[in-house]
Each structure stands twice: as structure tokens, then as C-alpha cells.
Homo-oligomer: A and B are copies of this chain.
Amino acid sequence: MKRPSGKTFAVGLDLGGTKILAAVFDGRNRLLAREKKSTKPDLGPGAVLGRIAECVNEALAVSAVPHTAVCAIGVGVPGMVDTRSGIVRVAPNLRWKDFPFGKLLSARLHIPVVVVNDVQAGTTAVQHLGAGRKLRDFVCMFVGTGIGGGIVIGGQQYRGSAGMGGEIGHMTVIASGGPKCGCGNRGCLEAVASRGAIVRRVIEEMADGRKSVVHDMCDGDPRRIRSRIIAEAYLEGDKLVREIIDDACDYIGIGAANLINVLNPQAVILGGGLIEALGDKMLPHIRKSAWAHVIGATDERVKIVDSGLGDDAGVLGGALVARTLAK
């Protein structure tokens, strides 16, 4: 017979191309501590692994939870992941390919590690603790560097026949002559409405001579533009940023409408860096665009809301996944 292990704590890890976020949760999913580090993927996978381990160690130290009391670490990775083996197949923003991340991190920390896709982790959090809590059928749209999608049908995450579904950022919304996308195509939703696309447009317009407070906010270095800077410029009423964000909201609304027309979910739930920073301002605009493109749209028919989890969706999802998938 199995004895209860006493390992009631879980660590959630949100691994992005820019930053690492680690958080410790108790048995009732209450946040005990959160630590943050820059990722620095340029230094190579080994160095990133070291930074991740440090980040976890610091979060555990701050929360005074011993390693032996942690059931598992759940990591959301921006890329294609083999959860069974813990191998990250490909993660472009980290420049990882076939990296046995789970095994290496587990060996380093002596804690079981569960590796999932970051959108899967975020969707899990939304489903169990966020705006999707009481819903059976919904779609998550995570708007960040790219645009990822989580689909929940009948209370289960649906990732398609080969686990490759949810690529909502690569729906074509401009069938010809749209801007180039990272995937090689043109006119993808991600190419016109992600934070990446927004930053690119801000930079282009500034290079063409348009004025924006963003220039000073990033000290003239466009590589330093983050969601936070875009949000501040928007809130200060910067004309260029407002125009570009408004356009992005139109497109996000069209993307939401496409998903609503095809899948008829109870809700579309928005998350990701840009929405966390500017959700209050963007949501009314996104809704207006979506209603205009949905067949028989009413607010009664489908809710478009934010995740209700703010910055914590990723780490919370990691912790939940750690609990359910760790052996």
C-alpha cells in the first residue's frame, strides 16, 4: 500500500524567451513565493538550465519549502514538447532542439519535472482556477510574442489528432499581401496582432519618422521594448501606439470571431503579456470587432473575457500540471 508522501508543495515554472518565472504553491494552490530571472538564451541551453535551477532554488528558499517537500516542478515551454520523455523537440525562442530538458533539470534539483507546452500550462490554469472554471467549452487566446490557443471541449483540453492543434496565431486573416509571419507565411493573425507584430510596427513607423514616447522609454534601443513599455505608451495617450494597438484589437477580434463561428464555445478567454498589461483597454475594442464578425452574435451567446489570473497563469498552470502528471 502507498503511504501519503507528504510532498504537498508544487513548483510552477513559466519559461519564456525573455524571462524565467518560478513560483512555489502550497497544497491548496496558494502562492508562497515567486522569483524571476532573465532567460539569456544566447548563452546556450546549459546556461539557461543553470538559471532555471537557480530561480527554483531561490523561490524555494524564500518560501522556506525544502526540496524534499515538493511533489514536482511543472514547466511550460514555448515550443513543441514530448511530455512523456521531457524532451523539448523544438523551441525557437530558446533556440533549443531535441533538448532532454526534463531529465537534466530533475537530475540537477532532485525533484521530478513535468514538461508541457506553455499554452497547455496556461489553459490548464484558466480551466481549473481562472475564467474557465465553470465552463465545459472554451477557447483561450494567449497574446504575447506570438499568439497561441488552447481549446477545451467537454471539459478536456483538445490538441487535435496529433497534438498539433491550437495554432490559432497562424489562421490566415489577410489572404493576400499581408505582412510576413515568423512561420514563413503572410497574413497570419500573429503577424498582425501579437506583441511581436505590434513592436515591429512601432519600430518601423518610428524609423519612418513618426514620433512616439516609446523612443525615450526604451532609451532609443528597440530591443528593449516590452509589453510594459507598450502599455505605458498607450496609457500616456501616445498616438502611434494607440493606432497600432487599436488595429491589433480589430484583428484579435476577427481571430476570436473565426473561432466562435467554427467552434461555438461558451467563452473566448484572453491571456498573455499584452492582455495582462492592457486588458481593460483592449477588451471592449476586441469584443466590438468580434461581435461584428460573428454570425448571430450577442453578448449572451459568448463571453469574451480575460483569464482572471494576470501574470500568474503560466506558473499556476505549471504547478497544476506538476500535480496531475508527476508519477
- Residue numbers of A with Cβ under 8 A of B are 136-137, 149, 151, 153, 158-168, 170-175, 183, 185, 192, 250-251, 254, 257-259, 261-266, 292-296, 301
**A258–B261 CA distance with the chains assembled, in angstroms:** 12
Q: Contact: A137 with B166, CB < 8 Å?
A: no
Q: Contact: B161 with A250, CB < 8 Å?
A: no
Q: Contact: B170 with A295, CB < 8 Å?
A: yes
**Residues of B contacting A266 with CB < 8 Å?**
161
Of all A-B residue pairs in the complex, the 3 with the closest CB atoms, nearest first, are A160-B264, A165-B264, A167-B261
A307 CB, min distance to chain B CBs, angstroms: 19
Name the residue on B nearest A162 (C-beta).
B264
A128 CB, min distance to chain B CBs, angstroms: 19
A3 CB, min distance to chain B CBs, angstroms: 37
**Residues of B contacting A250 with CB < 8 Å?**
175
Q: Contact: B262 with A175, CB < 8 Å?
A: no
Q: Contact: A263 with B160, CB < 8 Å?
A: yes
The contact sample of 16 A-B pairs, CB cut-off 8 A, is A137-B161, A160-B264, A161-B265, A162-B264, A162-B301, A164-B264, A164-B301, A166-B262, A166-B264, A170-B294, A170-B295, A171-B258, A171-B261, A173-B173, A174-B174, A175-B192
